[in-house]
Structure 1
């Protein structure tokens, strides 16, 4: 066949038709889009529950850190602040689990993530776990990795390193913005889209009261 005889317009139209059919098939997956919102909720539940319950269990120590202006956050009314933050986190875990007031509870939780990100994590850069290479590595994380390698060398020389690491490798917590920013983005999605269809109390309450109107 002569290349000049090829009907490029026909091939282009067939390609567009195929793309359209494929997109229609992909659109059918939206019937299960509630799974995405459920996954976000369930992911955040243990994160928030552990954060809030830890604050309640170590209430005095956490309040002292909240109020300490030398090495802490230097916040006013630290005991009240700890109580409110811990309460919001615990309630947030419960509400997200059952899908109740998801959009409402996302607001104070996002505020907490912003404050934590700016006041606690920002100074440490982006990475949550220190790494010595890559785009987001800093002098801080590279120095941390050097210290980690020295610590590993000592442990390998004077202890059973395989036993010490059989349940996981040693890492250095950099405590950067990564986790706080990730949780904020997840909460932002829940704020705009809610808890999702079928698997949230919000959905059934909305459906009931909409039908009553």
Structure 2
């Protein structure tokens, strides 16, 4: 038993030479997500443009105070954060504003829709009313398509779904960023790694 435990310990220790792959995978996954979100917001940053109006309007938007400033901060946090993720620059510092944007998005945009990104009535963690309403819309949409559309062709590559827009993805991105906050950008393939080595030489 001790030999097995020792072998398992040694086997796990042998992976430390490639432990930079974990943070690298998180960074490369998140970089295009935040780049797309940030650049889309930048397109609407002109006064009274779409992004600013959506941030400020309480009826069909977020109803946030100082909408232009909030949109500006969110857009540049995501764009600059995407660049930091890609190159591993000041990763622990950039994780903070990105995590804040995910919390704000989860609370102001996604919370009312429950947990799921894709509606599934078989799994409901909270706000089940939203999930049930999405299930009703899904059943109605399927019946309309089956009656008036080529349903078999529409679903031959995948099932027809309703986008529930819950907090699932915002929470997932937050957790990924939290890991990067505690572990940093990783060795070798990050600016942070070489900056730290240069600073230790002094």
Q: Taking structure 2 as the reference length, what is the TM-score of the superposition? A: 0.91
Residue matched to 2:182: 192
**Does 1:158 find its partner at 2:177?**
no
Offset at residue 167 of structure 1 (A): 5.2
Q: Higher mean Cα deviation, 63-72 or 47-56?
A: 63-72
Residue pair 2:115, 2:124 contacting (<8 A) in 1 also = no
**Does 1:40 find its partner at 2:22?**
no
Residue pair 1:133, 1:142 contacting (<8 A) in 2 also = no
Tell me the alpha carbon deviations over residues 108-165 of structure 1, each in whole angstroms, 9 at most, x when there is no partner: 1111111111122222211111111125372321231222122112112212223333
Residue matched to 2:173: 183
Residue matched to 1:96: 85
Q: Taking structure 1 as the reference length, what is the TM-score of the superposition? A: 0.87
Q: Higher mean Cα deviation, 146-155 or 190-199?
A: 146-155
Within 5 Å, which residues of 2 pair with 1:49-198?
49-59=35-45, 60-136=49-125, 138-166=128-156, 168-198=158-188
Residue pair 2:113, 2:165 contacting (<8 A) in 1 also = yes
Q: Distance in 2 between matches of 1:175 and 1:95?
A: 27
Q: Higher mean Cα deviation, 105-114 or 74-83?
A: 74-83
Give the unaligned 5+ runs of structure 2.
none
Residue pair 1:34, 1:196 contacting (<8 A) in 2 also = yes
Q: Distance in 1 between matches of 2:85 and 2:157?
A: 31
Offset at residue 21 of structure 1 (A): 1.8
Q: Higher mean Cα deviation, 147-156 or 68-77?
A: 68-77
Q: Distance in 1 between matches of 2:161 and 2:130?
A: 14
Query: What is the RMSD of the two structures over their aligned residues, measured on CA atoms?
Result: 1.6
Larger radius of gyration: 1
Give the unaligned 5+ runs of structure 1.
1-14
Q: Distance in 2 between matches of 1:74 and 1:168?
A: 36
